[in-house]
Amino acid sequence: MGKPTGFLEYVRQTNPMRPPEERVNDWNEVYVLRDEQTCREQGARCMDCGVPFCHRGEMMQGGASGCPINNLIPEWNDLVYRGRWKDALNRLHHTNNLPEVTSRVCPAPCQAGCVRSINEPAVTIHDNERAIIDNGFAQGWVVAEPPEVRTDKTVAVIGSGPAGICCAQQLNRAGHHVTVYERADRIGGLMMYGIPNMKLDKKVMQRRVDLMAEEGIEFKTGVEVGKDISAVELKKQYDAVVLATGATKPRDLPVEGRDLNGVYFAMQFLHANTKSLLDSNLEDGNYISAKGKKVVVIGGGDTGTDCVGTSLRHGCESVTQLEIMPKPDADRNRVSNPWPQWPANLKTDYGQQEAIALQGRDPRNFSVMTTKFEGDAEGNLVAIHTVEVEWVDNGNGGRMPKAVAGTEKRTEADLVLLAMGFLGPEDVVAEQLGVERDVRSNYKADHEVYTTNVEKVFACGDSRRGQSLVVWAINEGRGCAREVDKFLMGDTVLP
């Protein structure tokens, strides 16, 4: 504990955001770094608790609390305060393969578990992490670290999201020959094409991929396993196969008018936008444009926020966001939602902030259910019909939405984006290999074991646990690598 009185002396200061009116005119990252002195002071706010809750990830009441990858948070907070940046970087990399990603896009369940947050704002763990890794790259300390010794074992990893590439890097460090198969034209999965550039600059992602390639991982892009090469053939070629395909099957909205022109899944919108941005700075026109359109985003999570922010950058006429769940309270209810549970209060993210600044209103409407899409004679979307709902007992211990009579509404719309989450992995790979699925259609494999019912086939990440946080994907990728190494060698050197 570098400064015993630091938590009393310094108030919380997060990384500042660029003004909404400025940042909606470009695709650069929303946040900028604090100066070094502020970073050190924020590190001093860590109390080095006798029993820290920040670095041990647990699920509590349906939400994450603490870090699922067990980041050594009190250690590197202290090192930041002391200005020992290289030591802090080493401790950070000890548990995290992608700190430049988690420090940008993770919602920071570590801060939910921060003991300081019992009665005061949490330590800025998320921003301290970014300061460490960004400084490490700036100083040239982050370099490729290929293994000193190679085995004769080969592993195929299907999918290059956070679970896949973390698993691949760990197995490569153990000396195995690892090949990652990705059907898109760039490596990264949702980190590349699902998260827009203003939240995670793709140069940041590519920088890490290039380091992994230097370390000896072979990346094969534009190869869809199950189509371009059968999963069965892949299994024959390698000593082990890891399924890290993600939960890419989107939840649909089967209401009247779903097939109208102008209704898209959020990932169709976000993927095409980022690819066009990287390929041509949006000059090729190969994306779904929101320019001049009345946009409605259905879904209140991070993906919905990204759709709002992207639509504003296109120059939409208006953007509205619909959420079927009730509006959370402004402040945390410390009786029903106590520390260290994830705080379930209302949060206003960058996309909503931008909409408020440009439109003069919060784009979100809560407790609203879509009943149908209305189209014109040519099959184009012209409006969306909704009704307000109340949540009632469903008779089985749960709750269900019930339409409130007299609250029906018609809203003009040119573009609707469905951002309602994901249902599990796509079917083809599991069907070809004969991999069992669980009741939610995910690949059936136990956490911390990762073995499927098919010999030498493992599964991890969202494709195993369902849609989740990037830190859980890293947790699973690292854990799966450990089990694969044990399977291949009889023992493991991996953490």
Using 50, 70 and 90 to split pLDDT, how confident is the model at 310?
very high
Q: What is the DSSP string of 116-136?
A: GGGTSPPP-HHHHHHHHHHHH
Query: Is residue 210 pLDDT above 90, yes or no?
Result: yes
458 vs 208: CA distance, rounded Å = 24
Same fold, 154-249+423-489 and 252-420: yes
Q: Name the burial class of residue 139, with classes exposed (0-12), middle (13-18) and buried (19+) by CB atoms within 10 angstroms of its CB.
A: exposed
According to DSSP, the residues that pair with 221 across neighbouring strands are: 182
**Which pLDDT band, with edges at 50, 70 and 90, does 1 fall under?**
low
What is the tens place of the pLDDT at every residue in 7-63?
999 999 999 999 999 999 999 999 999 999 999 999 999 998 888 899 888 888 878
Query: Helix 202-214 crosses helix 162-173 at what angle (to 10 degrees)?
Result: 30
| Domain residue limits, the chain | 6-138, 154-249+423-489, 252-420
H or E element, residue 303: helix 302-314
Q: Tell me the average pLDDT of the chain.
A: 96
Which DSSP letter does residue 405 get?
A: T
Please report where in the chains the tokens 């990705």 appear, as a residue.
182
User: CB under 8 Å to 243, separation ≥6 — which residues?
Assistant: 158, 159, 425, 429, 430, 435, 443, 452, 457, 458, 459, 460, 463, 464
Q: For 239-290, how does the pLDDT look when each residue is reduced to its tens digit (9 = 90+)?
A: 999 999 999 999 999 999 999 999 999 999 999 999 999 999 999 999 999 9
Task: Give the Cα separation of 288 and 235 in Å (integer).
Answer: 37
User: What's the distance, Cα to Cα, between the start and end of the chain in Å?
Assistant: 26
Q: What is the pLDDT of residues 152-207, one digit of tens each?
A: 999 999 999 999 999 999 999 999 999 999 999 999 999 999 999 999 999 999 99
The packing angle between helices 73-82 and 85-93, to 10°, is: 160
- Beta pairing, strands 399-403 & 381-393: antiparallel
Residue 202 near residue 274 (C-beta atoms within 8 A): yes
**Given this model, what pLDDT does residue 64 score?**
84
Per-residue pLDDT of 348-367, as tens digits, reads: 999 999 999 999 999 999 99
Mean pLDDT within 457-463: 98
The pLDDT value given to residue 61: 82
CATH top class, domain 154-249+423-489? alpha beta
Fold classification of 6-138 is Fumarate Reductase Iron-sulfur Protein; Chain B, domain 2 (1.10.1060)
Q: Which fold has domain 252-420?
A: FAD/NAD(P)-binding domain (3.50.50)
The reported pTM is 0.95
Which residues are within 8 A (CB) of 148 and not within 5 positions of it... i.e. 6 or more apart? none
List of E strands, 377-445: 381-393, 399-403, 409-412, 415-418, 422-424
**Considering the chain, what percentage of its residues have pLDDT values greater than 70?**
100
What's the pLDDT at 100? Answer: 98
Mean per-residue pLDDT, 388-404: 93
